[in-house]
Structure 1
């Protein structure tokens, strides 16, 4: 009898599971995601969202380049996804060399001519890659046949909106860097340069007069910061879409939902449209156990604990230090610390390492930051690492090298969770002093823990929140969330037409008032003169 009951339970379990799976597959949508080349932190963001979408029963396909397909498809959760691979316009070896060059100039000034030349090349390569994708008719036909319900794209590469227009597929945009207010102004968010800094300049929301002047000038007169990056792709749009009156900026404005990898726990509050959802901290999650050898090293640190030092997934640490003597500066500073240091370094240095320093080519960053022995995080200011540090309540030392890392550094100081070290003037003493400052002063750790408590007190984690809203848009559409600003011209948007009419009316009223007062004064003057003559 017991055997029969057990067998019946197994049958019921199989039947119930089948119903659940069938129910999920009936509501499943095919979703295409893209993170430019499929490399580094940008891909990790889409991967985190994609995992939650798969958990909701959807089928997720990542569009990645042949240069980084093997890297993306060999990650831990890669079996959850399908992959569409596009061939880059230039050989992968050239791309690898480009990133090596970007690493070599990272410690140079952003105004250095060599730095500017190297950093400008990816924009042109992305344009070429878009042309190659749009010319790949086999790839476009596979995308067409897949019957995708949604395209989720990184807003740094406006190529996917062209495909969405060609194939009539709705869009969801991902903003991978801080400051969502500026990027989503095209969606109706209110960007005010008096208290919202432009991207990439490292200002806080409390600016001096000079900073506000510079910020306003950049916003008003540097179109690349706002819309010019979309205008650049119009030629490709008109080559592959028959309607020449359509502009890429109009297509981007039709994006039904914007997911910003940002959170007001650390970012600067501003007015966002209802179709902008903050999902900052997509890669932050509870820590997993460390590998035994790494755990032994961390545990042996005693009460002093450990310092974690990484340089992100975008730059090569080998090339980063090859062109300068900065590695010896870092190692010498670490040797003077009472803590043990775990440093991401793709190669063993040519000189002996001090006993308190361990170098590894790859670090489980989130798991290390979540370890109770971790006392501080030394990093260049990547947005993902920033929110992982906040999630785990770890104070930071930031050495910004490029791009939005200067914005992250500004947010580190404004939130009070760490200090910034200038990459141009970093020395053994300044680095050691900065680490000592954040590890020996409780105010940094206390502030980091307070932000961690606020950040975790949410109905659902960021990746789940992103998947929920994507699922919502798939079911109901996102048109009702869009602002009517799309229907206005720039002149109407800033009320220039209204202000012009009001100014004209004001002038008319002033003229009328002048005329009336003149008449009255002349009448009074005439009365007084007449009375005086009569009396005389």
Structure 2
């Protein structure tokens, strides 16, 4: 985030580009909300904006969404919606910690805001989260746990998943050699397709050598360590059409870092998953994969060739994983509208209706003490205290009168 803040300062100094964009008079901006600078650019241009979030609802609280901690797991907990007592305790503590983390992240952009916005109209990052006309999330309820949503929150997960196109003859020839055992697709994201983590690669490579399936692995050949010998059942490729390979009838498994796009493609084509999560949201994504029983994951520090090969065979041979992911495929494909239509229709709706204000809850405008009913609670406590005080005073008065009348009778 420090790097993004530094880049943001440089970006907002590009007055020539910003002036050009202003002259274009765009109707609306669609921004990647992971980078807070995109909010500031839209604000600088004076444009209403739609925010896109690239994965699970890690920022739900910042968007003002109802998030009951009893069954909505907080980001970085790796919990599901079914928590025991200690799970709920962990969820609560993480939630309190996350609010501090968000404040620290937002503060990294304070100097940028002061430099590029006049004092009388300086925005702040939390308010800009609430200012978005519409929020689009790259997920849907095939993987995300059921939860309450606001009217301007829409799920568009699975944009990249689509019907398959024919593979090259080279790939078809390689796959045909697998016979009934089929093949495995391996993609660990753009970062690990070029970073030479030698020990990590060795364990994976040795694990693949122990299985009968063919393996098609995306990795830059120029970065492959020369001393690591590639087994005959493994094909290394600089790039591969993941969607088309996952739609092939002989595919048996996807080995992935746990990126959301890869997981949504696996759901669309009903392919079980073995995850090796590396950072960011990938552990949370794989927790959802396990909860949906469409696969499992191995933390990278626990990756050993024997365990890796054994886990691959377990997922392929245990038909329950395939059955579970086929159920998810049915849910995904039978939704009323495909994600690209949801995206286009909602963006068009926001433009045609002049913004998304009619979809925003009034809570966005309420001060925090009203939102949490603290003023009402305080009023009720005061009323209760006054009632208790008056009741005690009344009882004392009655007791005094009874005592004084008793004395008169005795006299």
Where 2:167 maps in the other structure, the secondary structure is coil
Instruction: Quote the Cα distance in structure 1 between the aligned partners of 2:294 and 2:394.
Output: 65
Q: How does 1:116-515 map to 2 (within 5 A)?
A: 123-178=1-56, 180=57, 182-223=58-99, 225-248=101-124, 249-313=126-190, 315-322=191-198, 325-347=199-221, 348-350=224-226, 351-476=228-353, 477-515=355-393
Instruction: Quote the Cα distance in structure 1 between the aligned partners of 2:132 and 2:115.
Output: 21
Cα–Cα, structure 1 residues 195 and 228, in superposed 2: closer, same or farther, change >3 Å? farther
Tell me what 1:76 maps to. none
Cα–Cα, structure 1 residues 239 and 525, in superposed 2: closer, same or farther, change >3 Å? same
Q: CA RMSD in A?
A: 2.2
Q: Is the 8 A contact 1:187 1:485 kept in 2?
A: no
Give CA-to-partner distance per residue, 1:174-193, whole Å, 9 cap, x none: 01021x2x524333311233
Measured after TM superposition, the shift of residue 491 of structure 1 is: 1.8
Instruction: Quote the Cα distance in structure 1 between the aligned partners of 2:196 and 2:398.
Output: 81
User: TM-score, normalising length from structure 1?
Assistant: 0.71
Instruction: Quote the Cα distance in structure 2 between the aligned partners of 1:153 and 1:380.
Output: 25
Instruction: Quote the Cα distance in structure 2 between the aligned partners of 1:201 and 1:362.
Output: 33
Tell me which moved more, 192-201 or 143-152: 192-201
Cα–Cα, structure 1 residues 202 and 283, in superposed 2: closer, same or farther, change >3 Å? same
Q: Is the 8 A contact 1:183 1:226 kept in 2?
A: no
What is the number of residues matched between the two proteins? 406
Cα–Cα, structure 1 residues 221 and 331, in superposed 2: closer, same or farther, change >3 Å? closer
Measured after TM superposition, the shift of residue 422 of structure 1 is: 2.1
Where 2:157 maps in the other structure, the secondary structure is coil
Measured after TM superposition, the shift of residue 223 of structure 1 is: 3.1
Instruction: Quote the Cα distance in structure 2 between the aligned partners of 1:134 and 1:173.
Output: 19
Instruction: Quote the Cα distance in structure 1 between the aligned partners of 2:323 and 2:404.
Output: 80
**Runs of 5+ in structure 2 lacking a partner?**
none
User: TM-score, normalising length from structure 2?
Assistant: 0.92
Q: Is the 8 A contact 2:77 2:90 kept in 1?
A: no
Instruction: Quote the Cα distance in structure 2 between the aligned partners of 1:173 and 1:320.
Output: 35
Give CA-to-partner distance per residue, 1:103-128, whole Å, 9 cap, x none: xxxxxxxxxxxxxxxxxxxx222111
Cα–Cα, structure 1 residues 231 and 252, in superposed 2: closer, same or farther, change >3 Å? farther
Cα–Cα, structure 1 residues 527 and 431, in superposed 2: closer, same or farther, change >3 Å? farther
Cα–Cα, structure 1 residues 365 and 504, in superposed 2: closer, same or farther, change >3 Å? same
Measured after TM superposition, the shift of residue 265 of structure 1 is: 1.8
Where 2:300 maps in the other structure, the secondary structure is coil
**Runs of 5+ in structure 1 lacking a partner?**
1-122
Cα–Cα, structure 1 residues 387 and 524, in superposed 2: closer, same or farther, change >3 Å? farther
Q: Is the 8 A contact 1:379 1:396 kept in 2?
A: yes
